[in-house]
Amino acid sequence: MSVRWLVADTWTLTLRAFSHWARQPFVLAVGVLFPVLVLLMFAYLLRGGYGDDYPSILVPGLLALTCVFGLETTMTAVVTDASRGITARFRSLPMSGAAVVGGRAVADLVNSLAGLAVLMACGWAIGWRIESGPADALAAVGLLMLLRFSLIWMGIYLGLVAGRPEAVASVQILVWPLGFLSNAFTDPDSMPAWLAAIAEWNPLSATAAAARELFGNPGWGGDSWAATHAVELALAWPILICAVFLPLAVAKYRSRA
Amino acid sequence: MAYGEKMAIVAEGLRKSYGETEALAGLSLEVPRGAVYGLLGPNGAGKTTTVGVLTTLVRPDGGRAVVAGCDVAADPGGVRARIGLVGQHAALDEVLTGRQNLVLFGRLQHLGVARARARAQELLKRFGLEDAADRPAGGYSGGMRRRLDLAAGLIRSPEVLFLDEPTTGLDPRSRSEVWDSVRELAADGVTVLLTTQYLEEADRLADRIAVVDGGRVVAEGTPAELKDALAGDWIEVVLRERDDVATAVALLGRVSGAEPEVDEAGLRVSAPVRDRMGALAAVVGELDAEDVALRRPTLDEVFLELTR
C-alpha cells in the first residue's frame, strides 16, 4: 500500500470529519465551548483566595485540560464507528489501513487547535496575556498539541478495546479526578503531601506548568523536581504515552479478530 | 476453463476458535461463479465467522480460502479489491447524507472525485434513493438503510458480494425489495454469498444452499436436492373428524415407517414416504379422509431435521 494512498485516504477521512462538523455544528460548538464554561466558572465563581493573577494561572491549566478532554472526543468517534460496523467495512475495503487511524488523528488535532484558539481568545478577554515572545508561545502551543496527539492514540486504543458507547461514559467520569488532581486549578502545595506528589507528576500538570512557563505566565512555584522540570516532563510524558499506545492502537486496528 | 476459474469461492477445512468456543470446525465450501449461494443455519452456527474469513476480516486458525482467485491469507489486498461486503448492521455514517456516504466509500476505494460522484448518483437512482439522497442516513427507514448499505457494497462493481443476513429485522415489504435487488445483481453475473436464518429466503434466492451447523457444512445442494435428499415426498391426510386421528396415525406410521406428525388443529396428519403410489393407495382404501395429497417437504422440515 503506497504512501500516496495513505495520504489520499487520510485526507478523505479528514474531510469526512469536517462534513460531520458542518452537519452538526451544535455538537462542535458544545465541545469547544465546554472548556470556556469551566474557565468562566473557576475564574469568577471558584477563584477562592487566589488574587488577580488567577486567570493568568488558570488559562494555561485549562488549555492543558482541554487536551485531556480530547481523549473522550477521540474515543467517542472510534466507538461510534466500531459499533456501527463502519470500521469493519473500512477494513474490508482496499484502502490504506493506517489512514483510518491517520484520518482520526488529523481531524482531532484540527478540532483541538480550534478549541484551544477559542479558549485562548476567551482567556484574553478576562485578562490572560501571552507575556513571552512568539517562539516561546508557539512552543507552548506545540507542547499542548503534543499532549493531545499522544492522547489520540490512547483514545483509539481504548475505543477499539471498549467497542461499546457505555464505556466512554466511564472514561468521562475518570477524566475529572485526573483534571482536579493536578496543578490546573490549584496549587499542589495546598494538598496533603502524597496527593501533591501525584498532582505534580500528573502529565496534565507537566503540560500546564510548561505552558505557563513558555507563555510567561505566573506559576505556582514549588521546588520539587517535577515542578522545576516542567518542560522536560511535558515532552517526556506524551512521548512515553505515544510509545505505549501508538503501537497498541495500530496493532489493535490491524488485528483480525 | 480451469477449475479455479469456475469457482468464485473455494474454502477448505476452515477452523476458528474463540477461546473455548469453536466457531468453525473444518468448514469447506465451493461457490461457482455467478451463483447466488445461501449459507443457512441457526444463530451461532458459524455463518458470520465464515463471511469474516472470506472477506479477510477474521484470520482463520486453520484451512485455506480463495476468493475471486486470490488467497485470503497471502493476498488479502487482492481479495478486498474484488469483493463487496454488506454486514449484519447497516454500516453507514448516520450523520452524512446517503450521497455523502456513497461518495465517501467510493473515494476510499480510490475512485476519483468526479467518478465517485457519478457512481453515487447511478446507485442512488438504481436503489430508488434519489429523493432521500441529500438527507442524513440516520433518518432513513430500515429498508432504505439496507438499500443504501447494499449500494455501498456495489460501488466498485465487485466480482463477489457478501451479504450477511441482509434482511434481518426488515419488514416484509423492505425484505422483498432487498430480494429484488439481489436477483438483479445475480442477473448481472455477480456472485452472491448470502447468509440467512430464514429458510424461505434461502429457498427463494439461492441457486445452491449449504446448511451450516456447529461450524461445519452438514448438507449442500440445490434447494430441490436438499428436500429430496432428506425425506423424499410426504403424504398428508386431512381428516373430517378428530376421532379418526388415532387410526390415521397408525396407518401412516405403518406405510411410512416413521413417526407421523399431527398439526395443531389435529385434523392434518403427515409422514414421509418412499413408495408414493403404494402409500396413496393404502390411505385412500382404508381411510375416509377429506383430502389426501403427496407433497415435497418444506425447507423448514429439512432444516430442523439437519440441525437437530
> For chain B (length 308 residues), average pLDDT per consecutive 10?
74 94 94 94 90 93 95 93 87 94 94 96 93 95 89 91 88 86 89 89 91 90 79 80 85 83 81 81 84 78 70
Residues from A contacting B (CB-CB < 8 Å) are: 1, 5, 8-9, 12-13, 16, 19-20, 23-24, 84-86, 88-95, 256-257
Asked whether residue A201 carries a pLDDT value surpassing 60, the answer given is: yes
Here the cell at position B211 is 446448511
pLDDT of residue B4: 55
Classify each residue of B245-263 as buried b or exposed e, where b means 16 or more C-beta atoms within 10 Å of its C-beta. Answer: beebbebbeebbeeebeee
Distance CA B201, CA B92 (A): 24
Are the beta carbons of B198 and B238 closer than 8 angstroms?
A: no
Integer angstrom CA distances of residue A46 from A43, A54, A174, A188: 6, 10, 21, 16
- B50, B56, B93: best to mutate for the A interface, most A CBs within 10 A: B93
Domain boundaries, chain A: 3-254
| Whether B87 contacts chain A with CB within 8 A | yes
CB pairs under 8 A between A and B: 74
B150: distance to nearest CA of chain A, Å? 12
Distance CA A202, CA A184 (A): 10
The interface predicted TM-score (ipTM) is 0.86
Classify domain B3-221 at the CATH class level.
alpha beta
Domain boundaries, chain B: 3-221, 231-306
On whether the pTM is more than 0.90, the answer is no
| Whether B92 contacts chain A with CB within 8 A | yes
* Paired residues of B235 in beta bridges: B271, B294
Are the beta carbons of B159 and B193 closer than 8 angstroms?
A: no
pLDDT of residue B1: 45
pLDDT of residue A162: 86
pLDDT of residue A120: 96
pLDDT of residue B129: 94
**What's the mean per-residue pLDDT of chain A?**
90
Distance CA A113, CA A225 (A): 30
Give the mean model confidence (pLDDT) for residues A153-161.
93
Classify domain B231-306 at the CATH class level.
alpha beta
Say if the Cβ atoms of A84 and B81 lie within 8 Å: no
Q: Which residue has the cell 425447507?
A: B299
- Which residues does chain A have within 8 Å of residue B81's beta carbon, measured at their own beta carbons? 94
- Hey, how many other C-beta atoms are within 10 angstroms of the C-beta on B302? 24
Asked whether residue A25 carries a pLDDT value surpassing 90, the answer given is: yes
pLDDT of residue A1: 54
Rg (CA), chain B: 23
- The tens digit of pLDDT for each residue in A81-99 reads 988 889 888 988 888 888 8
Give the mean model confidence (pLDDT) for residues A241-249.
94
Which segments of B109-195 does DSSP mark as H helices, in order? 113-126, 142-153, 172-187
- Which residues does chain B have within 8 Å of residue A89's beta carbon, measured at their own beta carbons? 85, 87, 91, 105, 152
Here the cell at position A44 is 469568577
Give the mean model confidence (pLDDT) for residues A144-159.
95
DSSP string for residues in B66-116: EETTEETTT-HHHHHHHEEEE-SS----SSSBHHHHHHHHHHHTT--HHHH
The mean-pLDDT minimum among A14-18, A37-41, A128-132, A167-171 falls in: A167-171
Q: What are phi and psi of B95, to 5 degrees?
A: -80, -40
- Which residues does chain A have within 8 Å of residue B160's beta carbon, measured at their own beta carbons? none
* Three-state DSSP string of chain A: CCHHHHHHHHHHHHHHHHHHHHHCHHHHHHHHHHHHHHHHHHHHHCCCCCCCCHHHHHHHHHHHHHHHHHHHHHHHHHHHHHHCCHHHHHHHCCCCHHHHHHHHHHHHHHHHHHHHHHHHHHHHHCCCCCCCCHHHHHHHHHHHHHHHHHHHHHHHHHHHHHCCHHHHHHHHHHHHHHHHCCCCCCCHHHCCHHHHHHHHHCHHHHHHHHHHHHHCCCCCCCCCHHHHCHHHHHHHHHHHHHHHHHHHHHHHHHCCC
| Whether B52 contacts chain A with CB within 8 A | yes
Give the mean model confidence (pLDDT) for residues A35-49.
84
Say if the Cβ atoms of B58 and A257 lie within 8 Å: yes
pLDDT of residue A241: 97
Residue B164 buriedness (CB in 10 A; 0-12 / 13-18 / 19+): buried
B202: distance to nearest CA of chain A, Å? 24
- Which residues does chain A have within 8 Å of residue B94's beta carbon, measured at their own beta carbons? 84
